[in-house]
Amino acid sequence: MTATIELDAKGLDCPMPLLKAKRALNNMSTGERLRITATDQGSMRDFRVFAEQSGHRLLSSEESAGGVYIHLIEKA
């Protein structure tokens, strides 16, 4: 079973959700997953670009009720 670590970045503006995610990923093992919840609309673009540049896999990125964005990244 793959471990999933939760990161609550709600209420934080760019670039803080991405910076907190990078810090969390640095402490994770390959194959572990990071689930980020954020309210920053720019996080949709930020995490897509970050995954493309870093080599990590963006497994999903969606907007849920109430303007909360949920991103799931698998560490490369």
**Residue 4 to residue 13: CA distance in whole angstroms:** 23
**Dihedral of CA 48/49/52/54: which sign?**
negative
Is 37 among the catalytic positions?
Answer: no
Query: Of the listed 12, 14, 16, 28, which one is catalytic?
Result: 14
As annotated, the active-site residues are: 14
